[in-house]
Structure 1
Amino acid sequence: MAQRLQSISAVTVSGALVIVLLLTLTFGTLGAVAFRADSLSGLSTRDWAAVRFTVVQAFLSALLSVILAIPVARALARRQFWGRSVLVTLLGAPFILPVIVAVLGLLSVFGRNGLLSQALGFAGLEPVSIYGAHGVVLAHVFFNLPLATRLILQGWLAIPAERFRLAASLGFGARDILRHLEWPMLLAVVPGAFMVIFLICTTSFAVALALGGGPKATTIELAIYQAFRFDFNLSKAALLALAQFGLCAIAAVISLWVSIPAGQGAGLDRVVARRDGSRILDFTVLLLVTLFLITPLGVIAVKGLGSVLSLPASTYGAAGRSVCVALASALLTIALTLPLALLAQRVSKLIEGVGYLSIAASPLVIGTGLFILVYRWADPVVLALPITILVNAAMSLPFALRAIAPALAEVERDYGRLSDSLGLTGMARMRLVILPRLRRPLGFGAGLAAALSMGDLGVIALFADPDSATLPLAMYRLMTAYRMDDAHGAALLLLSLSLLLFWVFDRGGRVNADI
């Protein structure tokens, strides 16, 4: 009994500490920002233009991503072909892809000196420019089209195969199937996917930093960065941070509210061969989206190979700092996620909701609040890397929690009573029962956190000086200095390290994890 109470006490204390930390990082930094902020009259016309542009570009990005994803998801749902699983896996790659790498790849294809402009030049036409609002939207579609496809594809696969068998026996054509089966599913799934992508696009800093700017293409986060980094106007940065948090909070609440189940009923989990619709049209759609996703990365690989070995020594130093930050962030993410998931499992599922608070908080908002809290007592530049590690872990925690919490609930459901009857508590229970069966989600969560941290260009842009820059920041500085050969080499190095870290953690979680 004493061991059981000791175990519960340890879980409660560690989980409570995580909750306090998360509340401090979200509402605590928000409170510091609110205390520093003036009235809304402190926002200029240009600042309100940034608020409007943030909403407009997020709306357009989400709308285009969802509209384009529907035919892609439909083609994947009704066609079985060699390489289909590889293509579905490819659709998940942009989520862990460093944003600044993808931006450089898009510049190499759609920029004034990119492949598209070169092709137009041969035809005697003017080159295109990717900078501005259309470039921001294009980049967001590149990142979120795969996510929208995966979300909508899950809705399509949730329709029982027996419904399609019945439709075929009734002689339904593609239009009839769309009306009676697919349209009700889309009405349930698409609004939630739209709001999730809208939320992601409102907090996309690196895309706006690299492709936006100017009065007509400045987001709230870019305005925060400019007010903070160039003007050192903490009051304006705080006001903008409040506006950003409010916008994200509204989007997060709406995204939860519109996530309505489709109600298609249960089936026998069978796969049915579908023959409705145009096969040529489906494969054309899949070919176009594959080229859209692969071409920018292919250009990065080709151009980066020639310069990756001749990069400046400072770039390799930045790469080393990025790896250290990513490893520390991954370990901290797991150290925060596991106690929170254990406490939620043993006390209340409502506790799990605390882990998702950081979704509504922008990294720049948290970074601004932390700067306000510490700059009077410590040098923020010295704390740049530790703060980056902490914020990256907090931003990765919701994704790791989503992977770990369901697996932990299954372990407790299958082995909890047996462990209690054997007196397994505390570290013995953790070592013998829980951790061996959580290796897969733990490895995946750590790999995801490492990859996301490796490519982050958020908080570090606020705090870092040239001596503490990470690889994404060093790469961005190479781009702004028009050292494009070195930038492509740094992009290839960053992409390789991000994928390697994800693979190492994810693969490590699968070794001997067949129990």
Structure 2
Amino acid sequence: MAQRVFAINRLRSLWPGLLAAALVAALSLGTLGAVALRAESFSALSRFDWLAVRFTVVQAALSAALSVLFAIPAARALARRSFPGRGLLITLLGAPFILPTIVAILGLTAVFGKTGFVSVLLSWAGLEPISIYGFHGVVLAHVFFNLPLATRLLLQGWGAIPAERFRLASALHFAPGDIFRHIELPMLKEIVPGAFTVIFLICTTSFAVALTFGGGPKATTVELAIYEAFRYDFNLGKASLLALIQVLICVVAALTSLRFRVPQMGQGGLDRVVQRFDARTIRGLAFDLFWIGTVSLFLLTPLLAILLRGTAGISDLPASVWSAALRSLATALGSAGLAILLSLALALSALRWRGLEVIGMSSIAASPLVMGTGLYIVLFAVTDPAEWALLITALVNAVMSLPFILRALSPALAAVERDYGRLSDSLGLTGWARLRLVTLPRLKAPIGFSAGLAAALSMGDLGVITLFARPEAATLPLQIYRLMGSYRMDQAMGAALLLLGLSLSLFYIFDLWGRRRA
């Protein structure tokens, strides 16, 4: 019987995963090679380019450190408290991760800009308004995006601590400091380094934040320097060298993150409800309420500002905004469909060869701008690349979302194979029949979540489309950026509210479909 199962398992085809891995490798490394081959010279990088490298590393490290530092007390407070609306609050705190970058930028500007709420309060107090542009603006925006991610990772870590440990700590009359030192601190030592490196990686490849809040020699990231080298100077040699440096930075960070893991919920206990006896003091309650309130205020106020100011401007949107919204919808749906196909092919084939999943995850270390530049060079020889701008945007966005989708699909697929693999093999179910009858019905929930995530991320992308989109073929994020550049802020806020609604609706519809059809 064992020989029979092994023989049928060998019939699983690797070619879909190999094709998907080849496409990812071609976009991640092949486009970099195309840029390098097209370059006329590889002159040494200037002092300003090395300043961009240093700025990238420093701001990414500081953004990751602050995100994790503020997430620790916030996650601890959410883990220790139970109150009406807690689940909704945790869901809302995760919204900035799928929030379109340009929408978040407008929200942060409305709160912390020169005419924002904070500056108005400072002027009433007789103080000078703050400036959101420069180094501190980039860090502030990155903390806004990544604080929810760090909070969710740490909250999962607190949820993984068995309830029996807290019951034992109560029986031993542990003080709150003892509980933190002996129970919570070991968990933090395990999770914090991994969370830090993941957020560092995300901040390293950030583009839209640096484009809006950065700029100039002292506030330019490597990704923004690549864009400027291609768009303004057409210096492909410099662009390829900067891309190589960014890949090296990301590879080092990614390899570091592989040393750490995020524990699964509820391991090592009897799944009892956690009772935090150390949180019943007035001091503990005040501490938790302060951090829950502060983090909620920081994350939700920019969203509220978009709702308030966007409602007034949405009725005055030009026709170009609505047509850009339709183009963004088509691009997002195409990107989500392609991302699901690629991730399924990689995840299924990775059951036999783990290296295919690693290739799919490698896109997190690549530069989407370099991908777009390489595709531009390749297409320029045969056609006008501007005609393929939306298709290229959808393709690059699909590949860039693979690391997040594979994180959701691979564990679920492994569980399906573990529970139903031998039975399927014994019944002779292979190929398309096995995929249709066994695998896909049990993957609908993670597929719906992944499709919604890919669509939302693509909907709000402001990256590749900036390279070669024609004025009449802009997506909604690019159209919002142009409205901001022409100081039509009311219309920009209205368009941002439209983009926010479309992005969250796509995510909700796909996720709801997956959960209901699961």
Q: What runs of 5+ residues in structure 1 fail to find an aligned partner? A: none
Pick closer, same or farther for the CA change 1:468–1:6 going to 2, 3 Å: farther
Give the match for residue 251 of structure 1: 253
Give the match for residue 502 of structure 1: 507
Q: Does 1:380 align with 2:385?
A: yes
Q: 1:276 aligns with which of 278, 282, 297?
A: 278
Q: Which moved more, 1:138-147 or 1:172-181?
A: 172-181
Structure 2 letter corresponding to 1:360: A
Structure 2 letter corresponding to 1:321: R
Q: 1:323 aligns with which of 320, 323, 329?
A: 329
Q: 2:185 aligns with which of 173, 183, 186?
A: 183
Q: What runs of 5+ residues in structure 2 fail to find an aligned partner? A: 1-5
Pick closer, same or farther for the CA change 1:307–1:409 going to 2, 3 Å: same
Pick closer, same or farther for the CA change 1:509–1:50 going to 2, 3 Å: same
Q: Does 1:480 align with 2:482?
A: no
Distance 1:470 1:141 in 2: 26
Distance 1:142 1:6 in 2: 50
Query: What secondary structure, in the 3-state scheme, does the structure 1 residue paired with 2:180 have?
Result: helix
Pick closer, same or farther for the CA change 1:6–1:313 going to 2, 3 Å: farther
Query: What secondary structure, in the 3-state scheme, does the structure 2 residue paired with 1:159 have?
Result: coil
Q: 1:352 aligns with which of 341, 347, 357?
A: 357
Distance 1:402 1:343 in 2: 15
Distance 2:376 2:457 in 1: 22
Q: Which moved more, 1:97-106 or 1:169-178?
A: 169-178
Structure 1 letter corresponding to 2:511: D
Q: 2:406 aligns with which of 386, 401, 411?
A: 401
CA displacement at 1:23 relative to structure 2: 1.1
- 1:394-432: CA deviation from partner (whole Å, max 9, x where unpaired): 011121122122222222222222223333333222222
Q: 1:367 aligns with which of 345, 350, 372?
A: 372
Pick closer, same or farther for the CA change 1:261–1:471 going to 2, 3 Å: closer
Decide whether the 8 Å contact of 2:146 with 2:199 is kept in 1.
yes
Structure 1 letter corresponding to 2:45: L
Structure 2 letter corresponding to 1:267: G
Q: 1:171 aligns with which of 156, 170, 173?
A: 173
Distance 1:187 1:414 in 2: 33
Structure 1 runs of 4+ aligned residues shifted over 3 Å read 4-11, 33-41, 258-262
Q: How does 1:154-233 map to 2 (within 5 A)?
A: 154-233=156-235
Pick closer, same or farther for the CA change 1:361–1:270 going to 2, 3 Å: same
Decide whether the 8 Å contact of 2:163 with 2:275 is kept in 1.
no
Give the match for residue 70 of structure 1: 72
Q: Name the Cα RMSD after superposition.
A: 2.1
CA displacement at 1:64 relative to structure 2: 0.6
Structure 2 letter corresponding to 1:168: S
TM-score by length of 2: 0.94
Distance 1:9 1:34 in 2: 40
Distance 2:252 2:43 in 1: 22
Q: 2:135 aligns with which of 130, 133, 136?
A: 133
Query: What secondary structure, in the 3-state scheme, does the structure 2 residue paired with 1:178 have?
Result: helix
Provide the identity percentage: 64
Pick closer, same or farther for the CA change 1:11–1:32 going to 2, 3 Å: same
Distance 1:85 1:327 in 2: 29
Give the match for residue 435 of structure 1: 440
Query: What secondary structure, in the 3-state scheme, does the structure 1 residue paired with 2:428 have?
Result: coil
- 1:99-122: CA deviation from partner (whole Å, max 9, x where unpaired): 110010000000001011111112
CA displacement at 1:361 relative to structure 2: 0.9
Q: How does 1:413-424 map to 2 (within 5 A)?
A: 413-424=418-429
Give the match for residue 33 of structure 1: 35
- 1:222-271: CA deviation from partner (whole Å, max 9, x where unpaired): 11111111222222222211111111111111121344879x98221222
Distance 1:431 1:408 in 2: 13
Number of equivalenced pairs? 509
CA displacement at 1:374 relative to structure 2: 2.9
Pick closer, same or farther for the CA change 1:165–1:493 going to 2, 3 Å: same
Q: Which moved more, 1:231-240 or 1:451-460?
A: 231-240
TM-score by length of 1: 0.94
Q: Which moved more, 1:319-328 or 1:125-134?
A: 125-134
Q: Does 1:492 align with 2:497?
A: yes
Distance 1:207 1:303 in 2: 21
- 1:155-198: CA deviation from partner (whole Å, max 9, x where unpaired): 22222211111111111111111111112211111111111111
Pick closer, same or farther for the CA change 1:7–1:219 going to 2, 3 Å: same
Distance 1:152 1:33 in 2: 40
Distance 1:458 1:7 in 2: 42
Decide whether the 8 Å contact of 2:229 with 2:236 is kept in 1.
yes
Give the match for residue 241 of structure 1: 243
Give the match for residue 295 of structure 1: 301
CA displacement at 1:490 relative to structure 2: 0.6
Query: What secondary structure, in the 3-state scheme, does the structure 1 residue paired with 2:364 have?
Result: helix
Pick closer, same or farther for the CA change 1:181–1:332 going to 2, 3 Å: same
Pick closer, same or farther for the CA change 1:279–1:321 going to 2, 3 Å: same
Query: What secondary structure, in the 3-state scheme, does the structure 2 residue paired with 1:171 have?
Result: coil
- 1:42-100: CA deviation from partner (whole Å, max 9, x where unpaired): 21111111111001100110111111111001111212222211122122211110011
- 1:456-499: CA deviation from partner (whole Å, max 9, x where unpaired): 01111112121221000100111111100000001000000001
- 1:11-41: CA deviation from partner (whole Å, max 9, x where unpaired): 3222211111111111212222343457775
Distance 2:22 2:43 in 1: 33
Pick closer, same or farther for the CA change 1:506–1:11 going to 2, 3 Å: farther
Q: Which moved more, 1:426-435 or 1:178-187?
A: 426-435
Query: What secondary structure, in the 3-state scheme, does the structure 2 residue paired with 1:250 have?
Result: helix
